[in-house]
Amino acid sequence: MQQTGLERINIGSQIYINFVESDKFKQNYIVVNIAGRLEDGLKAAKTSVLDKVLRRGSRNYPTMAEINKRLGYLYASSVNLWSFKYGEAQILAANAQMLDNKYALDETNILDETIGVLADILMNPLIKDDSFDENYVETEKTNAVNEILSQINDKSWYAYKKCVEHMCRGERFAIDIKGEVEDVAKINGKNLYEYYRYILENCAIEIFCIGRLSNKKDYITDKFRDLFKNIKRAEKTEDYSTDVILKAVNKGEITEEMEVNQGKLVIGFRTGITNKDEDFASLVVFNSLYGSGITSKLFENVREKLSLCYYCNSGIDGVKGIMTVSCGVEVENKQKALDEIFKQLEDVKSGNFTAQEIENAKLGVINGYKKVYDNFGSIAYWYFNRLLQGEIKTPEQVIEEIEKIGRGEIINAANKLTLDTVYFLKGTILNNPESGGE
Amino acid sequence: MPSVYKTIENKKIEEKYYYINHESGLDIYVVPKNHTSSYALFATKYGSIDNTFKLAGDKDFTKVPDGISHFLEHKLFDNEDGADAFKKYAETGANANAYASFDKTCYLFSISDNGENFDKALGILLDFVTHPYFTEESVKKEQGIIAQEIRMYEDNPGWQVYFQMLANMYKNHSIRLDICGTDESISEITAEILYKCYAAFYNLSNMALCISGNITPEQVIETADKILKKSEPVIIERFKYNEPEGVVKSVTEKKLKVSRPLFNIGLKDCETGLYGRDLVKKSRETGILTEMLFGRGSDFYTRLYNSGKINNNFGAGNITEPEYGYIDHSGEADNPTEILEEIIKEYEDKITNGLNRDDFELCKRQYYAWSITAFDNTSSIANAFIGNLFLGADILDIPEIIAEISFEDVENRLKKIFRRENFILSVVNPI
């Protein structure tokens, strides 16, 4: 494997720039992650509106059209801002993706110029009297509200989100990363600008640069160092750690009705293991064997043997220490599916699986980790994830841990699971044949 | 005679591929990349649009149940020895899948290995796709799974608003049919019909294999030699639909559980019959036009976004195929009818007042960049390779084809494609 690993440079208080050299791509990739604490709906809503308002215009490119035309001219470079939840941390991310200079048809320095646009959007916003442009803020508040509401359009996502909300009621993990509609209403140009200043001063910042950048490292490092030099950084940045509940309190079954055709079942467990624990690799292999992927027990039995569904799979959130099993099923078959999902889990707990299944599960996981190198976004996320966990490991190092997992470790991981919540989105369309259109 | 390969190269963009005219009759393409994972795509030029066909010796066309190419895609994973292909793949670590589209069915895997496990996985792929095994019992069982897949799409508003557009845009052409079929149509499927469709379309002369990754042509030939048997070409006559101008219904709506209306606004393109380079050129001309009019840097996007009428879900793109084509404008809006009017106004304005040359240069530059960044990912390379191949085009020629496009070409495209009667508005409203 022709990988050089991570080069990490400190450029300010809790600000790091990280390079991973790769010659696989025709593009270079830069992402700036600003990591704070997931606190409440208002803070989440501010982050969501902020990522949108920043993208609307900066001092040198005051309108979205100017930003987009400039990026188009730079051989379709892109700059995107978004926010996401990482356990109980909330991350504001800004990335830039650009064609390598060698493919330019003229003298355009795509790398320099694109970094310039990214820097202007992120660090040189359009501000008047300590406030963002109120017109921009108002439009983006509307867009933020629509984003919150439109989560209902994707039924399996909606069911997952509802399950987690019930399961983690009272925990910060239940906060919607987009905030609530009433939170968005409280935002204005002034308090948003205050918040913007606050996160620049108080949140850890991790920058990743992936691509053919070996002879540009100093240049890029200086450029980013310069960008942050006038920010008064706090000595201690926000604590973005996640509180973990190791053992579930069984909250029983929750059913919600909706005018849809298919029922969506989501079962939430506490895993008792997080990605900071030594036995995390056991949990990953367990999850592969039990429910992720097309050779898992869930696919094999709930779908292939019983023909109950098109999809049935499990997924883990290693930061929060939860696992969810999701399944789209005919309403009348819900109990059958539920029984089979639990039966398969009991089978793994009691060691009822073959050596071949172990090998397959491990190979599947390893295959996935090796693929990290084939996508610049995955490389950046891999190392960001490791940094937040507190220990930098390469995919190869994690693969070594996976290879050591055997039957006993899988059984142990399975037995640490505790059932928390069963959520069922019950489709009612069959009862109301007129609804649902033509 | 052992198979040999040819090297085809585009030095400017530093990409090449090896072409193997395999003795079995299968065309094989290897696109070398130094990525960790390799991706293999075994495809047949057979999709949901091919529902009526005739083989040599047939007197009449046979019409098969809707959704059969997709059903066949599911069922090919079964093997006579009882072990499905997924299970076999699992022992190699490959991540396998398949998909059926309007005009092709593809079987694929990706794997982070370029040695023994890759060869094994490739052997599995070539073997199960060339060895059908269907029984009445296994067909029955699959009907349950596919019914749930159909239910899932019924609840997917993005899918619904799109297929509703196609069903009401096309009067005759089979593109108007849902790829999965319906509960009724899939209940008509039997093992016998599956075998018949298989025999017609899964002939190696109607198929291609593309591999992208750190793989040598020699190792691919070795596996292909072991698995593939020589097959004589089958001549398929596909029914030619006569598709007139105009749409079935210019406005079509349905209600689903959504937060606000979703829309697809289609502009049907009735100039069909192009193939190969000409088709690719036309497709990119249309793409550049759409980008100029509706892209992120356009006046249209800016104006409607600033007024809150559209959000960043709005997008416009084009489908340009030999037998059908359209420009698709989609997004969410409180008042989709207003967006339709704005879109029509925008086309009319540009026809009257002309396009802007600077915008053209800008959008052409973007298309050039996208033709190169398409080579960053092994799965997109293989999929784009096969997509172009089945249209008679070569992925390595695309940067050059884009370079040939002139301002006048795009102006002509605008004049040809714009017809008021070819617009359709498809909406999914909240319940």
Tell me the per-residue pLDDT of A165-197, one tens digit each, with 9 for 90 and over.
999 999 999 999 999 999 999 999 999 999 999
3-state secondary structure of B248: coil
CB B126 within 8 A of CB B42: yes
Measure A21 CA to nearest chain B CA, in Å.
14
Distance (Å) from the alpha carbon of A13 to chain B's nearest alpha carbon: 35
The percent of residues in chain A predicted with pLDDT above 90, rounded, is: 93
* Other Cβ atoms within 10 Å of A72 Cβ, number: 22
Q: How far apart are CA A311 and CA A291, in angstroms?
A: 10
CB contact under 8 A, B259 and A328: no
Q: Say which of A258, A330, A373 has its CB closest to residue B148.
A: A330
Nearest to A375 among B255, B297, B377 (CB): B377
B38-79 tens-digit pLDDT: 999 999 999 999 999 999 889 999 999 999 999 999 999 999
Question: Does the beta carbon of B188 lie under 8 angstroms from any beta carbon of chain A?
Answer: no
Structure tokens at B110: 């990706």
Q: Residue A310: its pLDDT value, please?
A: 87
pLDDT band for position A277 (cuts 50, 70, 90): very high
Chain A contact for B296, CB < 8 A?
yes
Helix (H/G/I), strand (E/B), else coil: B376: helix
| pLDDT value at residue B82 | 85
pLDDT of residue A210: 97
CA distances from B37 to A405, B30, B328, B393 (A): 23, 14, 34, 26
List C-alpha distances in Å: A92 to A84, A103, A355, A372, B127: 7, 31, 43, 22, 47
pLDDT in tens, A199-226: 999 999 999 999 999 899 999 999 999 9
> Residue B2's pLDDT band (boundaries 50, 70, 90)?
low
- Confidence label for A112 from pLDDT (cuts 50, 70 and 90): very high
Cβ-proximal residues to B365 (8 Å cutoff; 6+ apart), any chain: A72, A73, A75, A76, A105
Share the mean pLDDT of chain B. Answer: 96
Predicted confidence (pLDDT) at residue A432 exceeds the cutoff of 50: no
pLDDT band at B370 (very low <50, low <70, confident <90, very high): very high
Q: Strand pairing partners for A47?
A: none
Instruction: Give the SS3 label for residue B37.
Output: coil
Which of A292-301, A314-323, B331-340 is the least confident region? A292-301
Please report which confidence band the pLDDT of residue A307 belongs to, taking 50, 70 and 90 as the band edges: confident
Contact B297 A68 (CB under 8 A): yes
Computed over its alpha carbons, how large is the radius of gyration of chain B? 23
Quick one: pLDDT band at residue B1, thresholds 50, 70, 90? low
**Which residue in chain B is spatially nearest to A427 when comparing CA positions?**
B155
**Shortest Cα–Cα distance, B200 to chain A (Å):** 27
User: How much of chain B, in percent, has pLDDT values that exceed 70?
Assistant: 99
Alpha-carbon span A249 to A232, nearest angstrom: 44
ipTM score: 0.93
- Res. B384: pLDDT tops 80: yes
**Distance between CA atoms of residues B311 and A73, nearest Å:** 23
Mean pLDDT of B398-416: 97
Out of A153, A329, A435, the one facing B157 most closely (by C-beta) is: A153
Q: How many CB pairs under 8 A join A and B?
A: 186
Could you say which DSSP state residue B426 is in? E
Whether the per-residue pLDDT at A434 is higher than 60: the answer is no
Name the burial class of residue B303, with classes exposed (0-12), middle (13-18) and buried (19+) by CB atoms within 10 angstroms of its CB: middle
DSSP letter for each residue of B311-352: -TT-EEEEEE-SS-EEEEEEEE-S-HHHHHHHHHHHHHHHHH
Output the pLDDT for position A433: 40
Residue A437 has pLDDT above 70, yes or no: no
Average pLDDT, stretch A31-51? 98
Q: What angle do CA A33, A38, A43 make, to 5 degrees?
A: 90
Nearest to B93 among A76, A103, A363 (CB): A363
In the block, which residue shows the tokens 């830039």? A96
pLDDT digits (tens, 9 = 90+) for B198-232: 999 999 999 999 999 999 999 999 999 999 999 88
Q: Which amino acid is at A420?
A: D
Residue B420 has pLDDT above 70, yes or no: yes
> CA nearest A95: which of A132, A122, A57?
A122
Report the pLDDT value the prediction gives residue A5, as an integer from 0 to 100. Answer: 82
pTM over 0.90: yes
Interface of B with A in 74-103 (CB under 8 A): 84, 86-87, 89-97
Structure confidence at residue A176 (pLDDT): 97
Asked if A356's CB is within 8 angstroms of B297's CB, the reply is no
Residue pair A158/B157 in contact (Cβ under 8 Å)? The answer is: no
* Each residue's pLDDT tens digit, A50-95: 999 999 999 999 999 999 999 999 999 999 999 999 999 999 999 9
Among the listed residues A180, A176, A172, A184, the one whose alpha carbon sits nearest the alpha carbon of residue A240: A172
C-alpha torsion angle, residues A246, A249, A253, A258 (rounded to 10): -60
Residues near A433 by beta carbon (within 8 Å), at least 6 away in sequence: none
Burial of B307-323, coded b for 16+ CB within 10 Å and e otherwise, reads eebbbeebebebbbbeb
Rounded CA separation A123/A134 (Å): 19
Q: A433: which chain B residues are within 8 Å (Cβ-Cβ)? A: none
Residue of A75, A78, A150, A153 best to disrupt the B interface, most CBs of B under 10 A: A153
A139–B257: do the CB atoms touch at under 8 Å?
no
Q: Give the active site residues of B.
A: 73
What pLDDT is stored for residue A376 in this prediction? 96
pLDDT per residue over B276-295, tens digit each? 999 999 999 999 999 999 99
Task: For chain A, give the secondary structure using H, E and C.
Answer: CCCCCEEEEEEECCEEEEEEECCCCCEEEEEEEEEEECCCHHHHHHHHHHHHHHHHCECCCCCHHHHHHHHHHCCCCEEEEEEEEECCEEEEEEEEEEECHHHCCCCCCHHHHHHHHHHHHHHCECEECCEECHHHHHHHHHHHHHHHHHHHHCHHHHHHHHHHHHHCCCCHHHCCCCCCHHHHHCCCHHHHHHHHHHHHHHCEEEEEEEECCHHHHHHHHHHHHHHHCCCCCCCCCCCCCCCCCCCCCCCCEEEEEECCCCEEEEEEEECCCCCCCCCHHHHHHHHHHHCCCCCCHHHHHHHHHCCCEEEEEEEEECCCCEEEEEEEECHHHHHHHHHHHHHHHHHHHCCCCCHHHHHHHHHHHHHHHHHHHHCHHHHHHHHHHHHHHCCCCCHHHHHHHHHCCCHHHHHHHHHHCEEEEEEEEEECHHHCCCCCCC
In this predicted structure, what is the pLDDT of residue A3?
47
Max CA separation in chain B (angstroms): 68
